[in-house]
Copies of this chain bind each other. A is one copy, B any other.
Amino acid sequence: MNIPIAGAAVTKFGEHWTKTLLDLTTEVSQEAMKDAAVSAKAIDAVFVGNMLSGTLQRQEHLGAAVASALGINRSAFKVEGACASGGLAVHLAIQSLLAGTYETVLVVGVEKMTDFPPEEISSYLMRAGSEEERVAGLTFPALYALLAKAHMQEFGTTREHMAYVAVKNHYHASLNSKAQFPFEVSIEKVLNSSKVTDPFTLLDSSPITDGAAALVLTTKKSLKKVSIIASAVATDTIAISDRASLTELAATKNAAKKAFTQAGIAHKDVDIMEVHDCFTIAEILAMEDLGFCAKGEGGAFIASGATKLGGKKPVNTSGGLKACGHPVGATGVKQLVEINDQLLGRGGKKQVEKAKVGLTQNIGGTGATAVVHVLKI
- Measuring CB to CB, which residues of chain A are less than 8 angstroms from any residue of chain B? 45, 51-52, 54-55, 58-65, 67-68, 72-82, 88, 92, 94-96, 98-101, 126-131, 134, 233-239, 242, 250-251, 254, 364-365, 368-369
Contacts of A365 in B (CB 8 A): 61, 64
Q: Are B68 and A239 in contact (CB under 8 A)?
A: yes
Number of copies: 2
Bound-state CA distance A98–B54 (Å) is 31
CB distance from A311 to the nearest CB of B (A): 33
Q: Are A74 and B128 in contact (CB under 8 A)?
A: no
Q: Are B81 and A81 in contact (CB under 8 A)?
A: no
Contacts of A369 in B (CB 8 A): 61, 63-64, 76
Q: Are B59 and A368 in contact (CB under 8 A)?
A: no
Q: Are A235 and B98 in contact (CB under 8 A)?
A: no
Bound-state CA distance A45–B76 (Å) is 21
CB distance from A179 to the nearest CB of B (A): 26
Q: Are A131 and B59 in contact (CB under 8 A)?
A: yes
Given contacts A80-B61, A81-B64, contact A73 B234 (CB under 8 A): yes
Contacts of A54 in B (CB 8 A): 51-52, 54-55, 80, 127
5 closest Cβ contacts across the A-B interface? A98-B99, A61-B82, A64-B368, A75-B233, A60-B127
CB pairs A–B below 8 angstroms (12 shown): A51-B60, A58-B127, A60-B127, A61-B82, A61-B369, A63-B80, A64-B81, A64-B82, A64-B369, A92-B95, A95-B99, A99-B99
